[in-house]
Amino acid sequence: MAASGRGLCKAAAASPFPAWRRAHSEARGGLKPEYDAVVIGAGHNGLVAAAYLQRLGVNTAIFETRHVIGGAAVTEEIIPKHGLRLHLRNPHSFTPMLEEGAGGKVPRSLLLGTDMAENQKQIAQFSRKDAQAFPRYEEFMHCLALAIDPLLDMAPVDMAAFERGSLLQRIRSLSTLKPLLKAGRILGAQLPRYYEVLTAPITKVLDQWFESEPLKATLATDAVIGAMTSPRTPGSGYVLLHHVMGGLEGTPGAWGYVQGGMGALSDAIARSATTHGASIFTEKTVTKVQVNSEGCVQGVVLEDGTEVRSKAVLSSTSPQITFLKLTPQEWLPEEFVERISQLDTRSPVTKINVAVDRLPSFLAAPNAPGGQPLPHHQCSIHLNCEDTLLLHQAFEDAMDGLPSHRPMIELCIPSSLDPTLAPAGCHVVSLFTQYTPYTLAGGKAWDEQERNAYADRVFDCIEAYAPGFKDSVVGRDILTPPDLERIFGLPGGNIFHCAMTLDQLYFARPVPLHSGYRCPLQGLYLCGSGAHPGGGVMGAAGRNAAHVVFGDLKSL
């Protein structure tokens, strides 16, 4: 499997320490008037697409608006020889409790990793029944991931070819049915139970397995992370599955940090692409996709008016930017444009990058005397996650146009495993928080006052679990949904480009009949998170799209 390491990017993508900020302005050779293929956007999927195309002999150029190449992905066939180093995390999940009136006792916590016996010991603090059920649950989910995972690494079944294609196209499209049939064989008689996992609220699924709320809430975080959904929302089970599929360094379900931060991963993919001859141009904004009189793509126009011709254009930007802003509307069917404009892009995420002068010391797991990192510091640390009701209430606040009063917080400290990210004794803390609505109630704007008020609320929550945290902060960056949209081009601030709901997946991503990376305009392809299989750091959309483009160019 070419694409792996899914879900790597919950670590901080940028450092709040100004001296550590990356400055990556890259141009591989001079700009030529024509290439075989042009990629819009140097996010991880765009870089992966370019790397694969160039290795296949397709002369490719990437144009990136920002001064840095962004995104992150690991693709085993591309990365290893290009300087990538990973730090595996084990244990990987830590959920401390707030337990008042414990009579001086240390509050409990839930620490999960790859050691099943240790996991059961941890879970037994809350329920012996759940400890016994946990291995069966893990095996159940592993079987489902085993069946679904191959579907992520290839284009969806081409329904348009079935409906309107030539006889040869119809025959070729039959091959894409094989993974679906194989998935059915793997799931067998348990298919109805697995169907429920994909379509039901994750609370319903977890209630059938477990009774302890700390365990259920910890598992439920993967069902709502990055999504404007509650654990009680139907279909939230798929989002959990999406985050537990894949692996790292041959270890299924493993998580890790990239040495040097997530930008180092993008750099490694970029080096792979440029080593084989691809050209990467930063601070070069594409403003228009060019179309010839016959209705075929013939290249792009840059912000300074430069025209760059190509046989194919791949866009790693969102479907909305690609089809509503960059593509001449007269070449797209009205129904297609309308569907793209109606995509659900709601996002609950406010990302806060924090610089601290010491590690957080949690009441449930106090720091060592020397202040060195302990096993739980390398985890995804879940705060305000003792109960699925807390997650639901946080969601309901956002539905009323209010930032959550007790936001769900996923706290990561990548410098606990990678000391190159911070000066000695200091650390980088990444806070992935939700729920924060894009539009605030009462017509309020996300101005500096609102940003800081929300960040202060998050810090107050952390302080309750780890007294002294606020005093350790030396700097912070706050990125609300509008900030994520403005800076990174994420519609609505959505890290997946559009919601990972069942009506916007597989056959229907981004819209029905156009889920195979092609669009109604010949020569234009979508290769970002808005295409199948969606968000997450895996590079699958870029890889899959590259192979579709290569096949089309060969047929030409």
pLDDT at 377 over 60: yes
Helix or strand (DSSP H, E) at 481: helix 481-488
Nearest alpha-carbon partner for 194 in 227, 241, 154, 155:
241
Concatenated DSSP letters of 204-255: HHHHHH---HHHHHHHHHHHHTTSS--TTSTTHHHHHHHHHS-EETTEET-E
pLDDT at 221 over 90: yes
pTM above 0.85, yes or no: yes
| Least confident range of 71-85, 161-175, 255-269 | 71-85
Phi, psi of 94 (to 5 degrees): -135, 120
**Alpha-carbon distances, residue 123 vs 39, 216, 390, 455 (angstroms):** 47, 11, 20, 32
pLDDT at 83 over 70: no
What CATH number should be reported for the domain whose range is 34-78+261-343+510-554? 3.50.50.60
Which range in 31-35, 71-75, 415-419 is most confidently predicted, on average pLDDT?
Answer: 31-35
User: Cα separation of 412 and 396, whole Å?
Assistant: 25
The pLDDT tens digits of the residues spanning 406-459 come to 999 999 999 998 888 888 889 999 999 999 999 999 989 999 999 999 999 999
**Alpha-carbon distances, residue 513 vs 198, 303, 505 (angstroms):** 22, 32, 12
Sole residue written with tokens 């297609």? 336
| Residue, of 435 and 515, whose pLDDT is higher | 435
Q: What is the 3-state secondary structure (H, E, C) of 93-161?
A: EEEECCCCCCCCCCCCEEEECCCHHHHHHHHCCCCHHHHHHHHHHHHHHHHHHHHHHHHHCCCCCCHHH
Would you state the structure tokens that stand for residue 465, as one six-digit string?
């679990």
pLDDT score of 241: 79
Share of the chain above pLDDT 70, in %: 86
Which residues are CB-contacts of 47 (< 8 A; sequence separation ≥ 6)?
62, 69, 71, 73, 266, 269, 270, 273, 539, 542
User: Cα separation of 50 and 61, whole Å?
Assistant: 7
pLDDT at 175 over 90: no
Would you state the structure tokens that stand for residue 72, as one six-digit string?
């992150």
At 242, is the pLDDT very low, low, confident or very high (cuts 50, 70, 90)?
A: confident
**β-strands 427-434, 350-356: how paired?**
antiparallel
pLDDT at 261 over 80: no
| Residue, of 309 and 166, whose pLDDT is higher | 309
Helix or strand (DSSP H, E) at 181: helix 178-187
At 188, is the pLDDT very low, low, confident or very high (cuts 50, 70, 90)?
A: confident
Nearest alpha-carbon partner for 13 in 365, 341, 265:
265
Task: Give start-end residues of each CATH 3.50.50.60 domain in the chain.
Answer: 34-78+261-343+510-554
Instruction: Give the single-character DSSP code of 43.
Output: S
pLDDT score of 305: 95
pLDDT at 109 over 90: yes
Would you state the structure tokens that stand for residue 469, as one six-digit string?
């945290």
The pLDDT tens digits of the residues spanning 89-102 come to 788 999 999 986 55
Nearest alpha-carbon partner for 160 in 460, 511, 439:
511
